[in-house]
Amino acid sequence: MAVYLSNVCSVTPVVLRRCDVGESGVVLSRYDGIAGYDWIAIPLIPYLYAVDRPEAVPLFADEKLVAFLRDQYRRDYLEALAPDRADGGTPEGNWYEMVGSSYDRTIYGFEIETSSEQDALLIDKFNNQPNRERYNFVTRNCADFVREVIDFYYPHALHRSLIGDLGVTTPKQIAKMLVKYSRHHPDLQSADFLVPQVPGALRRSTPVHGVLESVMAAKKYMVPLVILHPYIGGGLLVEYFGHRRFDPARNAPVLSVDSGYQLDAAMTRAERLRYESRLDELSQIHSAMESANNGRTEEKAKGVKTWERLQASATPGIDTSGRPALQLRVGDALAQVGVSRANILMVSDSSELAAGLLQARIRQELRPATARKTSPSEVERDLTLFEHLLSLQPREVGVTPSSAAATAALQ
């Protein structure tokens, strides 16, 4: 859990300043084992995606690409906090938690108004007080850090749940209290939204639970507790179901970063079915193109799993403009595919491989469990790009002079 401050920026990850015009602020977070510091400030886009610009966000990610992007960002900006190992390799530790959070999970945002005077006081406080590691899972965890920051702006706005979370501060409790505080103070501008998890071959985000929810959801704990201690167990069950009713994903608009931080209503079932039908029609064209191409790449086929296998064997890198790309081996040849929306057309040697990436992304966006956390406008853009890729003249995959130059640009 972390705090995003839209009007606070940073000189370094441990020195804050006011933002200049056009800057998007920083995310403040507490993790243990980060060079002995209690808090670290990371700009918004790197915190979410481990890249420094929205146009470099990958369309479909796997563990290898995410690890590459995180390490690339660390080498560029966080070397002082997480230096290379003695052999020049990537260090261990929790530094990776500070960059690329949207690859690991869906992020729920709860916005509340602050003033420039409050922001200035916070900057002064954080820059002048000792920044020494104080992490403790029970009493000073990442959710406690958020509670402390929000309470600096609005004293006593947030508190732990002694029953629902057994006294441990949890992200769900903080979100629940912040929503409650906003409702009791309608004069303050507030909003809630979600940032969807990046599509890809990574474990999908699960629902947010508090401590008691996690315990009571396990029958091996709940049943004996209710039988042996009916009054205590009954009271805990009441608190459990009350806590469970708070769903941060319910009716939350979706934030689209690469569309200029626009909020969009989540996809409806009717929209999902319509997009799915359109994708099926386009996918038939894609399959026909592959068949007409004499099946020159036996490992290339249909669906999410096929692209995942291709990407797993690829080498991630950076193109000449600093955006992520993949180098894939297709038979005896090499092909480069741009992974971001900004370079998938310009860098990709094969429009068919690029179309396979888009198809895998859209299939995942349209899964029933994912659709309510997906922006319809994003899917519309993806389908338009997919259709454009299918309209391009197929090219033989091989290391031509142009693709050889692009391959050499991978770092």
- Whole-number pLDDT of residue 356: 92
Place of tokens 């929000």: 150
Mean pLDDT (whole number) for 57-75: 96
Mean pLDDT (whole number) for 209-237: 47
Place of tokens 């820059």: 127
Place of tokens 């977070």: 29
CA distance 99 to 130: 24
Q: Where are the alpha helices (DSSP H) in 249-302?
A: 269-292
Task: For residue range 67-84, list pLDDT tens digits in order.
Answer: 999 999 999 999 999 999
Mean pLDDT (whole number) for 311-334: 92
- Neighbouring C-beta atoms of residue 129, cutoff 10 Å: 9
Mean pLDDT (whole number) for 17-29: 94
Mean pLDDT (whole number) for 335-348: 93
Token output for 244: 């469970």
Place of tokens 């997009």: 275
Residue 86 pLDDT > 70, yes or no? Answer: yes
Nearest CA to 333 among 403, 274, 282? Answer: 403
CA distance 371 to 268: 8
Mean pLDDT (whole number) for 28-54: 94
CA distance 150 to 188: 14
- Whole-number pLDDT of residue 138: 75
Contact criterion met (CB below 8 Å) for 336 and 406: yes
Distances (CA, A) of 34 to 31, 41, 63, 96, 317: 7, 12, 22, 10, 26
- Whole-number pLDDT of residue 242: 53
CA distance 236 to 257: 40
Mean pLDDT (whole number) for 275-284: 92
CA distance 26 to 2: 10
Place of tokens 């890198």: 317
